[in-house]
Structure 1
Amino acid sequence: MDETAHARAAFSEGIGDIAPEALRERLEGVLKSASMTPGALTVVTATTLDGSVELDTAARRGAGVQMSYEGLRLSRDLIHSNPWSGGDRNEGDMNAIAAEVLVARGFEYLAHTGVAMDVVDAVRHFGRDQTIRETHDAPAELDRRLEADFVRIAVRAGADVALESVPEPIDTVADELAEELGIDPLPETETALGGVAERISTAVASPDRTAAGSRSSST
C-alpha cells in the first residue's frame, strides 16, 4: 500500500471542483510540490491501528490535514515574502486566495472529527506566532511550530479514524514524531514514515504505555 499515493489522490479529488480554473491550477501546483508527510502519516497511523479501516476514509482525513497545513504554510510564505511591497502583487493575491481555500477545505474535511479543535488550536498558534515573530529572539523556533503541530495532528487524525479516540500511547508517539519531523521543510514521506508503523504497533502493545489509560481525541 502506498500511503502517499492515497493521500495525494484524496487531496487532488478535494480540489477538483475549485473554480476558476486558474485558482485550481494554482492549488494543483501546491499539491505537486508538497511533502505529503502529514497526509501519509494520517493514513499509516489509521491502517496500523486497524487493518480493516477504509482507505478512502483514512485518505480523506489525511487530505484534510494536508490541506490545512498547506494553506497555513502558504500564508506563512506570504507573510515572510510580502509580495505586496515591491513584489508581484497579482501573484501575492492569487496565493492568498489559494491559502484561504486550502484552509477552508481542510476544515470542511475535518469538521465533526476528533481533531477539529486541534486544527483550530494550530491556527491560533500560527496567528500568535506570526504576530510576534518580528520581535521574538528566535523566530525560526516560532515558525517550526507549524510543522510540529501538523505532524502531531496527523497522527491523532489517523488514530481518530481507526479508534474514534486517541490513546495516550499514540499521543506520546505523536509528540515524539512532532519533535523529530517538525522542521521546515517537512521531510519527504520516504524518510518521515520509516519505522512509524512499528513504533505505533509497539506503543499500543506496550503494557508500560497502555497502563496510563487513554485520552479522548475530542479534548
Structure 2
Amino acid sequence: METADNCRRAAFESVADVEPPRLHDLVESVLETASMVPGALTLESAATAASDARATLEEPTDEFAPETVHAHAAGVQLIYEGLRLTRTLAHEEPWTDADSNGSGDLEILAADILVARGFYLLAQTDAADKAVRTVQAFGRDQTKRADLLSDVDSLDDPDEIDTTTLDANLERDVLELAVLTGAATVGEPAPPGLLAFAEDLARDVGPAFPPTEECLTDLEPPSSKRPLEDGTTDRATSATDH
C-alpha cells in the first residue's frame, strides 16, 4: 500500500538524527516492523477532508504541502509507537531480567524519544490537544491495569479481570487522533464517516494493528486525490539534543 510506504519513509526521516547509533538503530527497528495504520489513516483523512471541502466550494481550496502532511502523519505514528513500546515494557518488565544486558533501559529511552518526537511534529497543529489527551488517557489506563492485577490474589475469580479493553483504548484513541490530525492539517473538520470508521476499526483490531493493507485498502483514494507521493518531512530537532 503506497500510503503506508510514504508514512514509513516519513517516520524514518523524522528520527534520522537520533543518537547514539545504538539508540538510533533501535528506534528504526521499531518502525521497520510497525503497522503503519495510524500514519496511513492520517494521510487518508487529510485527502478525504480536502476532497470534501473542494466538493462543497465553488472555488477549489489551496493545495496543502505534502511535506506538512507527511510530518503530521509521522507525528501520529511516532506517538503510537512510543506508547505501544511503553505498554509492552510495562507488561514484560525486561529490566528485571539479569540477562537483559540493559536492553530494557534502552527501550524505555527509545519509547520516550518516539513520543517526544511525535509531539514535536504535532505541536503547532489543532490536533495537539488530542495528542496530549491520548497520552494522559494511556497513563490512566495503564495505572488502572496495574492496580487491577495487583489485587488479583484477593479476587474469587481472577479470570474476570479484563485488561484487554484497557490496553485497546490506546488504539482507539490513536485512530481518532489520526483522523483529527489529517483533517486539521488541511484546515478542515474531521469527516464524520472517517470518525465512524475509526471507531469501528478500533473495535475490530483490539490492542494491536494488523498490516495496513488488511484494514485500510477500502480507503485508498484515486492517485489524483492522494495528498502526497514522494514528499519528505521537515527535519525535527532530536529529543537527545540540548
Asked whether the two chains share a fold, i.e. TM above 0.5, the reply is yes
- Code of the aligned partner of 2:50: D
Match of 1:189 in 2: 212
CA contact under 8 A between 2:49 and 2:188: conserved in structure 1?
no
Q: Which runs of 5+ in 2 are unaligned?
A: 52-62, 149-160, 222-242
Aligned-partner Cα distance in 1 for 2:21–2:12: 14
Between Structure 1 and Structure 2, the one with more helix by share is 1
Q: Which runs of 5+ in 1 are unaligned?
A: 199-219
Match of 1:61 in 2: 72
Aligned-partner Cα distance in 2 for 1:146–1:89: 29
3-state SS of 2:94 partner? coil
1:73-127 deviation per Cα after TM superposition (whole angstroms, max 9, x unaligned) = 0111110010121251510011000000000000000002111111111111111
Aligned sequence identity (%): 39
Aligned length: 197
1:101-158 deviation per Cα after TM superposition (whole angstroms, max 9, x unaligned) = 0000000000021111111111111111111113432111100111111111111111
Match of 1:17 in 2: 17
- Code of the aligned partner of 2:31: L
Match of 1:49 in 2: 49
Aligned-partner Cα distance in 2 for 1:75–1:104: 13
CA contact under 8 A between 1:7 and 1:59: conserved in structure 2?
yes
2:93 is matched with which residue: 82, 101, 105? 82
CA contact under 8 A between 1:70 and 1:99: conserved in structure 2?
yes
1:160 is matched with which residue: 174, 184, 192? 184
CA contact under 8 A between 2:3 and 2:43: conserved in structure 1?
yes
- Code of the aligned partner of 2:71: R
Deviation at 1:170, TM superposition (A): 4.5
Please say which structure displays the higher CA radius of gyration. Answer: 2
Match of 1:101 in 2: 113
Higher relative contact order (CA 8 A, sep 6+): 2
- Normalised TM-score (structure 1): 0.83
Please tell me the root mean square deviation across aligned C-alpha atoms, in Å. 1.9
CA contact under 8 A between 1:44 and 1:197: conserved in structure 2?
yes
3-state SS of 1:50 partner? helix
Deviation at 1:192, TM superposition (A): 1.9
2:132 is matched with which residue: 96, 106, 120? 120
Aligned-partner Cα distance in 1 for 2:11–2:210: 19
3-state SS of 2:97 partner? coil
Aligned-partner Cα distance in 2 for 1:50–1:165: 10
